[in-house]
């Protein structure tokens, strides 16, 4: 399978500063996803929501998985999503907020899948309906 090659279309985007701790590869994929949303005229609030969801996921992911996932988000597994959901509940996030974030993350991961990134866990992610 061919890997998605980030186009780096938005390298200086202020929004991407939120993700300085991620690898250039991950930042490139996020930039590509923002470009994808913008070219389809998604509302700025939708774009910002997707970024907030990804940031929330990155911040609350299990520490043992951070190094790997900060380098390559395509290594995310259903267990990572489950651990994120548990951590989000522990942090006191409202169930509706968690569902909204999960949907934002799902959009990003589906974008990677549709652009032929190697990502094996997203098909089971959609089965989470914690609300």
In a domain, 14, yes or no: no
Question: What is the pLDDT, as a whole number, of residue 1?
Answer: 46
Residues (pLDDT < 70) of the chain are 1-13, 116-131
The residue range of the domain holding 69 is 20-125
In a domain, 5, yes or no: no
CATH of the domain at 64: 1.10.150
The DSSP line for 2-45 is: PPP----S-TT-GGGGGGTTS-HHHHHHHHHHHHHHHHTT--HH
CA dist 96 and 88 (Å) reads 11
CA dist 30 and 16 (Å) reads 8
Question: What is the pLDDT, as a whole number, of residue 117?
Answer: 53
Q: How many domains does the chain have?
A: 1
In a domain, 94, yes or no: yes
In a domain, 130, yes or no: no
Which pTM value belongs to this model?
0.75
Tokens of 116: 């032929």
Q: How many CB atoms lie within 10 A of CB 111?
A: 20
């Amino acid at each position: 399978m061919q890997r998605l090659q980030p186009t780096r279309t938005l390298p200086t985007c202020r929004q991407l500063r939120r993700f300085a701790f991620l690898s250039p590869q991950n930042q490139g994929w996020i930039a590509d996803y923002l470009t994808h949303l913008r070219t389809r005229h998604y509302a700025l609030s939708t774009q910002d929501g997707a970024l907030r969801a990804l940031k929330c996921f990155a911040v609350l992911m299990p520490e043992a998985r951070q190094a790997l996932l900060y380098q390559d988000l395509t290594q995310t597994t259903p267990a990572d999503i489950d651990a994120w959901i548990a951590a989000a509940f522990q942090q006191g996030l409202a169930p509706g907020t968690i569902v909204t974030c999960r949907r934002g993350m799902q959009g990003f991961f589906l974008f990677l899948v549709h652009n032929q990134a190697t990502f094996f866990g997203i098909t089971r992610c959609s089965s989470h309906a914690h609300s």
